[in-house]
């Protein structure tokens, strides 16, 4: 396991912008070869680091080059792990199981391209729960942003009828039979280990990840006297309207840099 975070391969990847250079990186995580995408601004500048944690599961919600390039153009060197079992990576995508370590060792990958001290975490949807866990597991985090993020896996099992079969397959049963397995994937129970400022973003009309996840996370953070900010958008769903999306990305990037 001593090779965790070690880069074993890197190749240029087509970029949607001449202002951003993309590289697909293969690195080690718990003995597995895992892949991810790195985005670096081509111009010299004073940049900060960002771990981008994608949503979805397996091929659904895969890292989009245009999306991480958007963050790179806001002044960040970005690394976005695909998670194990994806795009030729070894292992199995586990939805906030041991794949949490793929996010943890992604920080080590990023530090081989970014030598600064400020590393931010951003996660969308499923990536939101990964972002919370990374903030809990790492002491190197400057800030954590979760957008439309899952915070309670048990609640997700009950709210998303279409996800029940998948969650049962990944986790190995139902919350009734294995409540401890669902609790072990839920960051709310370990949030006392989070020390970085937390920004929660959620659309109140979200039908994929209920806004209750945002309220759960905010309430838990407040009870633990954590530094937490909540941005709710009453007319937005899981995916925001394009102009609101752009405005929100700019605002959250400014928030991260202010921490």
Q: How many CB atoms lie within 10 A of CB 38?
A: 25
Give the separation between CA 47 and CA 78, rounded to whole angstroms.
Answer: 10
pLDDT at residue number 61: 64
pLDDT at residue number 201: 98
pLDDT at residue number 234: 95
pLDDT at residue number 212: 96
Q: Which CATH number fits domain 7-258: 3.10.20.740, 3.40.430.10, 3.40.50.1820, 3.90.1720.10?
A: 3.40.50.1820
| Residues noted as catalytic | 125, 238
Q: Are strands 198-203 and 141-147 parallel, antiparallel or unpaired?
A: parallel
| Residues 57 and 126 sit within 8 Å (Cβ to Cβ) | yes
Domain extents in the chain: 7-258
| Residues 127 and 116 sit within 8 Å (Cβ to Cβ) | no
CA atoms within 13 A on the CB side of 157: 24
């190197």: which residue's tokens? 140
For the chain, list residues with pLDDT below 50: none
């370990």: which residue's tokens? 190
Task: List beta partners, residue 143.
Answer: 120
Residue 143 carries which DSSP code? E
């309207």: which residue's tokens? 241
pLDDT at residue number 95: 86
Give the separation between CA 197 and CA 199, rounded to whole angstroms.
Answer: 7
């Amino acid at each position: 396991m001593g090779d965790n975070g070690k880069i074993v391969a890197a190749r240029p990847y087509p970029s949607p912008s001449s202002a951003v250079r993309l590289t697909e990186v293969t690195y080690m995580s718990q003995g597995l070869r895992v892949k991810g995408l790195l985005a670096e601004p081509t111009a010299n500048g004073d940049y900060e680091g960002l771990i981008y944690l994608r949503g979805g599961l397996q091929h659904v919600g895969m890292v989009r080059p245009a999306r991480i390039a958007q963050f790179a153009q806001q002044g960040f060197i970005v690394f976005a792990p695909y998670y194990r079992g994806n795009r030729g990576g070894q292992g199995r995508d586990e939805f906030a199981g041991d794949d949490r370590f793929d996010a943890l060792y992604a920080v080590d990958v990023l530090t081989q391209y970014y030598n600064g001290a400020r590393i931010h975490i951003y996660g969308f949807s499923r990536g939101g729960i990964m972002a919370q866990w990374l903030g809990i597991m790492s002491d190197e985090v400057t800030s954590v942003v979760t957008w439309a993020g899952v915070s309670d896996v048990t609640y997700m099992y009950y709210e998303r009828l279409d996800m029940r079969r998948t969650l049962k397959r990944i986790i190995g049963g139902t919350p009734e039979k294995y409540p401890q397995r669902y609790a072990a994937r839920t960051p709310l129970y370990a949030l006392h280990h989070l020390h970085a400022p937390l920004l929660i973003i959620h659309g109140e009309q979200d039908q994929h990840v209920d806004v209750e996840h945002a309220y759960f996370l905010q309430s838990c953070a407040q009870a633990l006297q954590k530094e937490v900010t909540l941005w709710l958008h009453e007319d937005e769903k899981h995916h925001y309207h394009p102009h609101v999306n752009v405005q929100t990305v700019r605002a959250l990037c400014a928030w991260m840099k202010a921490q």
